[in-house]
Structure 1
């Protein structure tokens, strides 16, 4: 029994897919599974795929669709149909079980599809007897298939044969320890599909910015023949019951966001802030921290937090000449992150101890938190100076330094992930803002960018830093030149401050 027959069978899934409102999805699924189609269905399919229907069942189905279009319902019935009809004919080793899995940015999101699947095996008499055991992340069937959820972490999906993998809302996956969790999970899943005939990957999501796995699949396969099928369809086309006034109101309020969420169009107003190549070129492999060196002046930047939700972070660095002695390089020496929940007083005390170990008595930091944090650092023996640049301005000034390789970063996965996830957003008036994506974090990135920007910014040169006639840098406490003898210093370059 093919998937469409199962969806129309009163003894199986028909109760969940009644009426003509599901006809658009039926046409898409017929094409994906190479089921005969009517002329009307073929015409509709071409309108959302920009290609002829596949001649054989596809191996990957990627659905770029608007919100409330029925994506999760369709993903669940594909997975449940595949799991229920699976017969082991030698694909599995003795004792081995295969997975029908749903992956999302967190388990709560993934459980949406899991709960749909559970309802089928709970409410359909023909399927009820197949459930042998409930587990923490799903349930086990009598035919050696486990239906389970997992997070978008490539380590969680290795080692198991995979019958069906649903990548739910894949355009919005976030992982503090990975810059590209969608691509890493995809690569980790592929070997598990290799030994399971008829296995399939279903990527299903509303679109977001023009980066990541979903956009790559769209760019490489939309409108092109092959075993990878990409669908792009607005909400109203997939779910004709949606109130058009809801979509119209959203378009009037925020056109760019609404066109992505309801019309299934990738956003033009959001772009990646930095490139992976630029970050990689500025990262010292395997260097996790640099110890204090006597004679070097260090500076620091802190991103405070009240301790309830965001992390509190600290970055320490210094400035030095490049190997060719022609440029000043801002070097990152140490980073610290204290994750919520925590005591702000304890966090300040910990940071103050580290600052003093690098000879630092003054720290700059985010200005919005200055009122409470200034007093806390003062009690710990550190002067706190609120930054006169906003976060977006700090990132703006950080970018050219990064792109010109004038910074030297530590090999910190969370820092790298946060830098690569930063987004540049263009508002209606044309003004850019730079920030983390929805649901993301940038506490480490903010502290690091702040430390390195202020290290190399002439307009924020602290009192006591002087320049000789030929640009020889001296400090009030150390009249000895800090640069190599005979070197001329470009205007605005300096070593650091006490």
Structure 2
């Protein structure tokens, strides 16, 4: 039914009713659509539909009259990574090789492409707006686009990818941009297309939204019922094809950029500051091993240095490197999470660095960092990966009503976690300043870590005594 609507085939009464249910439109365009968004639940057959569409366009339709001598028409299958995109290619290869009428069209099979004798190539691409330029594109088939990176600071935002595809399709009158995905958060290119085109009769862009069992009745209802019992919000997206309302962006790019000191990549240590460090350890195979150093300057919390070592690496060598950096800032104690039990303590202890376990989970660190960013009391270094990770964080509301903040599926937050840890640790430490004259102290000023406002206490009398260096140990003992 979706394919019939996409290519402008006539519909009977029952089919029209299903079309109205899945599109919220009264009637389809009899000429079909050049751009369509297929928003369906898991196991709906989206990837197979993309492969079938690719095969139809590659074998049944002819594109030779659009091609210059030596030029090939390209049908792109695009996903967040090549492994995911190859799923569509495997479907296409299977359909070609197992259909006797189509098998002779195969000219060459490669790991990530199929060349056909009619000068059409079905090819795998990753979701990057840089790598998809320069092709004569007759179709772009995008898989699971709701899970592409959508924040503006990402290296390849989803809207930039689609904006790069559309000019490549412009010279082909029958070119097709087809995007299929399970829904996720209410952000990104797929959500924007849904808001703009769903249910609009006069829109040239088709948005088709359907539950899993609407598209694929073979999925047992019992599995879907169990998913709804376990996590209703997740199941509504995974099987009900509903965009999630319990997931919001943590912070926008403009707020992060306002806290960045442009052109400042690291601050040299100075004797007047007391520095704090926070680390996010890793075993060297999956996540990065990160370290951040910061200090407090009045009511501002200044990030001085960051290190990120991406896998693969030797964890012992990274600890040695980080320990050298900590010593340059006069730091003998570092805070980190509970990763790998006693291992981080032992490794840092070898280099004279005490390792303390953070009592707060990272959701709390991100929550406490937010007011520092919004009030511009956090002074960040100029690091694009840090900005990307902060903007890519998501706030989720659990069934118990408690919020959690974490990276999006497939994302990373190693640097962001480390920076949140060090800045909130610095902000949480009580700062006491004693002022006075004639050798006596004045009022003690303590800063509330939550509001940044001073809390005044009664004056404390402090008597300053001059002690010669040689007498210092005895004086301490007497004191």
Alignment-derived partner of residue 334 in structure 1: 305
Paired with 1:289 and 1:121, the residues of 2 have a C-alpha distance of: 56
Matched, 1:269 2:246: yes
Alpha-carbon distance change, 89 to 287 in structure 1, aligned in 2, over 3 angstroms:
farther
Residue aligned with 1:112, SS: helix
Alignment-derived partner of residue 378 in structure 1: 349
Give CA-to-partner distance per residue, 1:277-306, whole Å, 9 cap, x none: 222222334543334455443322100122
Residue aligned with 2:317, SS: helix
Matched, 1:362 2:337: no
The one of 426, 433, 438 aligned to 1:467:
433
The one of 374, 378, 381 aligned to 1:407:
378
Matched, 1:131 2:111: no
Residue aligned with 1:375, SS: helix
Alignment-derived partner of residue 70 in structure 2: 95
Alignment-derived partner of residue 30 in structure 1: 4
Contact 1:86 1:143 in 2 (8 A): no
Alignment-derived partner of residue 47 in structure 1: 21
How far is the alpha carbon of 1:143 from its aligned partner?
2.1
Contact 1:34 1:54 in 2 (8 A): yes
Contact 1:49 1:222 in 2 (8 A): yes
Give CA-to-partner distance per residue, 1:409-441, whole Å, 9 cap, x none: 233232222212212121111111111223322
Alignment-derived partner of residue 216 in structure 1: 192
Q: Which ranges of 4 or more aligned residues in structure 1 deviate by more than 6 Å?
A: none
Paired with 1:466 and 1:427, the residues of 2 have a C-alpha distance of: 39
Residue aligned with 1:213, SS: helix
Give the TM-score normalised by structure 2: 0.86
Residue aligned with 2:229, SS: helix
Paired with 1:85 and 1:181, the residues of 2 have a C-alpha distance of: 33
Paired with 2:251 and 2:196, the residues of 1 have a C-alpha distance of: 23
Residue aligned with 1:129, SS: helix
Alignment-derived partner of residue 178 in structure 2: 202
Alignment-derived partner of residue 223 in structure 2: 246
Matched, 1:178 2:154: yes
Paired with 2:455 and 2:354, the residues of 1 have a C-alpha distance of: 24
Contact 1:370 1:386 in 2 (8 A): no
How far is the alpha carbon of 1:38 from its aligned partner?
1.5
Contact 1:174 1:439 in 2 (8 A): no
Alignment-derived partner of residue 459 in structure 2: none
Alpha-carbon distance change, 89 to 399 in structure 1, aligned in 2, over 3 angstroms:
same
How far is the alpha carbon of 1:445 from its aligned partner?
0.8
How far is the alpha carbon of 1:492 from its aligned partner?
7.7
Paired with 2:209 and 2:328, the residues of 1 have a C-alpha distance of: 56
Residue aligned with 2:125, SS: strand
Using the TM superposition, name which of 109-118 and 81-90 deviates more.
81-90
Paired with 2:17 and 2:312, the residues of 1 have a C-alpha distance of: 55
Paired with 2:182 and 2:414, the residues of 1 have a C-alpha distance of: 27
The one of 117, 142, 146 aligned to 2:92:
117
How far is the alpha carbon of 1:55 from its aligned partner?
4.1
Paired with 1:286 and 1:354, the residues of 2 have a C-alpha distance of: 21
How far is the alpha carbon of 1:131 from its aligned partner?
1.7
Using the TM superposition, name which of 225-234 and 142-151 deviates more.
142-151
Residue aligned with 1:376, SS: helix
Paired with 2:137 and 2:304, the residues of 1 have a C-alpha distance of: 43
Over aligned residue pairs, what C-alpha RMSD do you find? 2.5
Paired with 1:279 and 1:466, the residues of 2 have a C-alpha distance of: 29
How far is the alpha carbon of 1:451 from its aligned partner?
1.4
Residue aligned with 2:76, SS: strand
Contact 2:140 2:178 in 1 (8 A): yes
Unaligned 5+ segments in structure 2 are 438-451, 457-479
Aligned residue pairs total: 440
Paired with 2:266 and 2:197, the residues of 1 have a C-alpha distance of: 43
Paired with 1:293 and 1:184, the residues of 2 have a C-alpha distance of: 43
Contact 1:307 1:342 in 2 (8 A): yes
1:10-29 correspondence runs (5 A): 26=1, 28-29=2-3
Paired with 2:22 and 2:167, the residues of 1 have a C-alpha distance of: 30
Residue aligned with 1:332, SS: strand
Contact 1:54 1:226 in 2 (8 A): no
Residue aligned with 2:308, SS: strand
Based on CA coordinates, which of the two structures has the bigger radius of gyration? 2
1:158-169 correspondence runs (5 A): 158-169=133-144
